[in-house]
């Protein structure tokens, strides 16, 4: 948790598990140091203690405790005893004129003793951790107070004996709050942070997870380095939540990852095998091998292995990346991947082919429509020409019909005349 400047001046309530800790606002000592962190922690501890005393039962499983502290840890190998040192404005070691090592210290032990000799003035104690690291921490009664280190960097290089990069503002190390619990049933001993309702009854306000970040908590999950497995995020509780994920770097190709590994499959029992990392000897999986099925398969991170016969106990099978390319179908896989690659402009081969087919079909359809339109124009031109210089076939056909009918009428008259003449000749 960051320094107390992040707390509200008007106060509020922080809920830790089932406990609600109220604070009335920031308070300031005569020396100008804010003490709300200490008051907050004291309120939390008093609430927990009173809860246990009220029930007259103290359970180790659900005993929670909070403390405020400020601790700076520096590896001993990083220290440089040829540089000066100040803590909270108090000079611990200063280079003498023409000297190369401060008179107050020349090694780790003397450096710790020099820090301890000024602890009353600085309010900071020095000690060595079990692994040899140097630890600077507040004296009792000064818990959570800011520790200012110096001097600042000289020409971009650390000028202090701790060999830390310090500048104005970055030389301040603020107090923190540590919440601890005893191991046991997680439902009774876990530490949960949230914000409840606060304020007057007529103006009740409810906090949000965003407020946790204002108190200095990191409200995100960070994973540094390589992630060996898939990650899943579960969101519980009421209300709405927005979840986002991001990563830096390039995703790992599973095929290349498997190729870089040197795996060994060892059968430790007739129906059990282990997969071991050949480089480190780390046992990756320990699984059951079902040899009762027709074609048992061993699958691991996209790798599938089948045996032509049932393995015996003690059999070891090595799996490498086939870097020499013996019996390798990688070229065929690359050729198959061409169907998904942008090789023609920003399009795949299939997309480019479909575009070409569409373009040819559109051109053919436009040509057909143009032909039909020009055919109508041609017919209209011919009709106009025939009206001016040609023979009207309809009129000619009408005349032919009229002449034919006249001829038939004349022939009919001659026929009747012949019949009358024959009748007169036959009269006696």
Q: What is the pLDDT of residues 158-167, one digit of tens each?
A: 999 999 999 9
Question: If we measure between CA atoms, which residue out of 288, 284, 278 comes closest to residue 316?
Answer: 278
**Does CATH place domain 71-173 in 3.30.70.2120?**
yes
- In whole angstroms, what is the distance from residue 37 CA to residue 334 CA? 62
Pull the structure tokens for residue 54: 């009220």
Q: In what order do the strands lie in the sheet with 172-173?
A: 90-93, 85-87, 147-150, 172-173
Q: What is the pLDDT of residues 367-411, one digit of tens each?
A: 999 999 999 999 999 888 877 777 777 888 898 999 999 999 999
Is the pLDDT confidence value at 32 over 60?
Answer: no
Q: What is the pLDDT of residues 323-379, one digit of tens each?
A: 776 777 778 888 888 888 888 888 888 888 999 999 999 999 999 999 999 999 999
* pLDDT on residue 54: 33
Instruction: Over range 310-314, report the average pLDDT.
Output: 89
pTM (two decimals) = 0.39
Residue-wise DSSP of 246-265: ---SPPPPHHHHHHH--EEE
Q: Which residues does 165 contact at the CB level (< 8 Å), separation at least 6?
A: 153, 158
Residue spans per domain, the chain: 1-67+176-226, 71-173, 257-328
Confidence of residue 182 (pLDDT cuts 50, 70, 90): low
Select the more confidently predicted residue: 172 or 24.
172
* pLDDT on residue 412: 92
* pLDDT on residue 60: 33
Q: What is the pLDDT of residues 290-303, one digit of tens each?
A: 888 888 888 887 78
Three-class DSSP category at 223: coil
Pull the structure tokens for residue 369: 């429509």
Q: What is the pLDDT of residues 227-269, one digit of tens each?
A: 666 677 777 666 666 777 777 766 667 777 777 778 899 999 9
């Amino acid at each position: 948790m960051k320094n107390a400047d992040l707390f509200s001046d008007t106060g509020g309530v922080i809920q830790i598990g089932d406990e609600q800790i109220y604070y009335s606002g920031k308070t300031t000592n005569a020396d100008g140091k804010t003490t709300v962190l200490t008051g907050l922690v004291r309120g939390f501890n008093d609430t927990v203690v009173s809860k246990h005393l009220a029930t007259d039962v103290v359970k180790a499983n659900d005993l929670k405790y909070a403390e405020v502290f400020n601790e700076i840890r520096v590896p001993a190998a990083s220290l440089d005893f040829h540089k000066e040192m100040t803590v909270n404005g108090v000079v611990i070691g200063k280079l003498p004129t023409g000297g190369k090592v401060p008179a107050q210290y020349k090694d780790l032990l003397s450096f710790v003793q020099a820090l301890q000799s000024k602890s009353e003035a600085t309010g900071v104690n020095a000690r060595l951790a079990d692994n040899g690291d140097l630890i600077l921490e507040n004296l009792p009664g000064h818990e959570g107070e800011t520790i200012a280190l110096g001097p600042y960097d000289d020409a971009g290089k650390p000028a202090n004996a701790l060999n830390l990069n310090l500048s104005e503002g970055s030389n301040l190390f603020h107090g923190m709050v540590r919440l601890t619990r005893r191991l046991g049933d997680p439902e009774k001993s876990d530490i949960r942070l949230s914000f409840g309702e606060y304020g007057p009854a007529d103006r009740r306000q409810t906090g949000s997870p965003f407020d946790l970040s204002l108190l200095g908590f990191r409200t995100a999950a960070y994973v540094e380095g390589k992630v060996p497995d898939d990650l899943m995020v579960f969101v519980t509780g009421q209300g709405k939540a927005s979840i986002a994920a991001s990563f830096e770097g390039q995703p790992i190709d599973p095929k290349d990852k498997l190729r870089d590994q040197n795996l060994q499959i060892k059968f430790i029992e007739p129906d059990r095998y282990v997969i071991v990392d050949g480089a480190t000897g780390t046992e990756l999986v320990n699984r059951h091998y079902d040899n009762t099925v027709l074609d048992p398969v061993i699958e691991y991170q996209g790798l599938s292995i089948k045996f032509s016969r049932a393995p015996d106990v003690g059999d070891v099978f090595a799996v490498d990346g086939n870097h020499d390319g013996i019996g390798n179908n990688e070229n065929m896989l690359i050729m198959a991947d061409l169907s998904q690659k942008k090789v023609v402009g920003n399009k795949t081969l299939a997309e480019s082919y479909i575009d070409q087919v569409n373009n040819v079909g559109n051109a053919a359809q436009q040509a057909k429509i143009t032909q039909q339109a020009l055919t109508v124009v041609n017919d209209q031109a011919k009709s106009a020409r025939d009206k001016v210089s040609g023979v009207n076939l309809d009129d000619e056909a009408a005349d032919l019909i009229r002449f034919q009918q006249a001829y038939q009428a004349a022939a009919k008259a001659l026929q009747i005349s012949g019949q009358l003449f024959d009748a007169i000749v036959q009269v006696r």
